Chains A and B, each alone.
Chain A
């Protein structure tokens, strides 16, 4: 049974501000969306010019990330996959800290162990993610069960793509969420593609959110390009979870405007017409127009904001580029709480011969 959640008010065309928002809140949402867009643009430039090895952008999904962060408390935990880095920015993480991860330098929170876009930030309650699709959903449910056990009012939010709804642990997460009713909000980011695979061939059901119903998890679908709609659905779900009334599954319908990653060429599997059509629904432009309608933004202020943010993004990514790589011996830390003897020997043997190995001219034979 899908409970009917309050339908978001028609915020789009209306001249009056959406109910319950201050101008500051709305402008902050927009600033966050612009920051995500600008950061993603910068990632692409850095990747194309060979300064970072790989990147994933979230272009088209800024509204979801800004709205969800705004609707949650900053102490709620996030269990993301690789396309929610914008939420880190919304929670105030610096562009430089994200860029440290992309560069894989010695300032990265996780010692440059993971490939680009696999962030970890404990201070921002952004839980370490793997590349393996779907595995983290059940972690969010388990963490929510733990919060429930301890009587804390922390809510867990977790995210999965349309492709990821076919993964094994999407099923286990909904199974546990339905049975134990812990304070978790599960988001499906339906951006229509899993790399090249269209959502129409991912799932035989008419929509993805209805998958929650079979597990007893109340489910709802929202327009993921409408920041106000996502905010309201999220706020409802988070408040409900905090009241002890259990989990919610929210499908955000959106579109992956960019390539899957810097390794992907979307022209192989989708048409330019389709991409042009989707670009018309760009959530950043759409929200800018709304703000202009409400008298909160004009072209001059918009340009000033963009200039300010783009400059900041360039400056901070350049800062990250200055740092070196982690020391070799750090490779052997954190595999276990305490380095086992056999591993310590591997480390010591390597370090004893460190001078035999070239630091520069990787791949060149020095002898």
Chain B
């Protein structure tokens, strides 16, 4: 075990998987000599050479389209999209091509790859360096969507994604890239894609969250204990698709109260799906309406970022509403 940041966990997985499988290749804008604008690809070009880790021209559709071709031919591409906000030029390649190759070819041409991309607020990046586009991808059959919130999950989930047989959108919460440290197992290490993680056990109310919202929910839960005497359970969903329906339902059956917290615009965000699942499958357990705490339905602002992204206070106030619901 070594103490690492989430970013180092990512880097560790890339190095470990490149050592393990020579078909793994990493490319994207500025990932070579510059080692990524966040340095997620540190040492890759030094260790594995330009053949396996390189910077590409500035075309996201080119990056993902080329990755698709490589994947069809048997490589394991791990392309990087510099910011999730710039994934849209590649949207067609991802949604029309990568996601559908397996199905449309009757299983003859699967197209596994891992598209890594930093997402979310926290760096004062305004409209185009802050977005959380996960719902576009969870809405696309054929894609797995994974968002880690701890350094060890970052490593283990990324390793599983690279070894898996399906295309994965691997979204990295850039706000906590460096701020969060934790123990990360050395060498070969995987965390399975699918199961959620109970970040904190509790009995009174369930908080469902992922990525950079997990530490926010942890603070809110501490305050809820302290100020309201409420025992919050925090479920870090970490694999958005496939969804861990069982863990969600079990938690709600235990607590009877549920909130979903996410940064993306509230309407039609991933949390809406979680809320709908609970309504369909756990209505009888509910003692209060399911509440979504999300970003507002506006583009992501610059100066007013501080009121846009859910913070511990907003989550706390929502917990208070839910526990006070008569």
Contacts of A49 in B (CB 8 A): none
A367 with B223, Cβ < 8 A, contacts A163-B58, A194-B58 known: yes
Most-contacted residue by chain A among B58, B86, B304 (CB, 10 A): B58
How many Å from the CB of A342 to the closest CB on chain B?
Answer: 7
Q: Does B311 contact A (CB under 8 A)?
A: yes
Residue in contact with A331 in the complex, picked from B37, B58, B301, CB distance below 8 Å: B301
Q: Does A168 contact B (CB under 8 A)?
A: yes
A356 with B313, Cβ < 8 A, contacts A132-B85, A331-B308, A335-B298 known: yes
A132 engages B128 (CB within 8 Å): yes
A residues 93-145 with Cβ under 8 Å of B?
104-105, 112-116, 118, 130-134
Q: Does A2 contact B (CB under 8 A)?
A: no
Q: Does A203 contact B (CB under 8 A)?
A: yes
A115 engages B302 (CB within 8 Å): yes
How many Å from the CB of B196 to the closest CB on chain A?
Answer: 27
**A189→B169 CA distance, assembly (Å):** 33
| Per-residue contact bits, chain A 336-357, to B (CB 8 Å; 1 contact, 0 not) | 0000001100110010010011
Q: Does A195 contact B (CB under 8 A)?
A: yes
B297 engages A131 (CB within 8 Å): no
A residues 252-284 with Cβ under 8 Å of B?
263-264, 268-269
B266 engages A104 (CB within 8 Å): no
A331 engages B296 (CB within 8 Å): yes
A164 engages B58 (CB within 8 Å): yes
**A59→B297 CA distance, assembly (Å):** 38
Contacts of A203 in B (CB 8 A): 57
Residue in contact with B33 in the complex, picked from A133, A164, A269, A326, CB distance below 8 Å: A269
A131 with B302, Cβ < 8 A, contacts A196-B55, A269-B33, A331-B296 known: no
Q: Does A328 contact B (CB under 8 A)?
A: yes
A residues 128-179 with Cβ under 8 Å of B?
130-134, 163-164, 166-168
B223 engages A167 (CB within 8 Å): no
Q: Does B127 contact A (CB under 8 A)?
A: yes
Q: Does B306 contact A (CB under 8 A)?
A: yes
B59 engages A166 (CB within 8 Å): yes
How many Å from the CB of A264 to the closest CB on chain B?
Answer: 8
Residue in contact with B34 in the complex, picked from A168, A269, A332, CB distance below 8 Å: A269
Size of the chain A interface, CB-CB below 8 angstroms: 52
**A249→B315 CA distance, assembly (Å):** 52
Contacts of A363 in B (CB 8 A): 306, 311
Most-contacted residue by chain A among B33, B35, B59, B307 (CB, 10 A): B59
Q: Does A19 contact B (CB under 8 A)?
A: no
A166 engages B126 (CB within 8 Å): no
**A357→B314 CA distance, assembly (Å):** 9
Contacts of B127 in A (CB 8 A): 113-115, 118, 130-131
Query: In chain A, what residue has the closest Cβ to B296?
Result: A346
Residue in contact with B55 in the complex, picked from A201, A326, A335, CB distance below 8 Å: A201
Contacts of A268 in B (CB 8 A): 33-35
A331 with B57, Cβ < 8 A, contacts A130-B128, A131-B128, A197-B29 known: no
Query: In chain B, what residue has the closest Cβ to A161?
Result: B58
**A326→B89 CA distance, assembly (Å):** 32
Q: Does A13 contact B (CB under 8 A)?
A: no
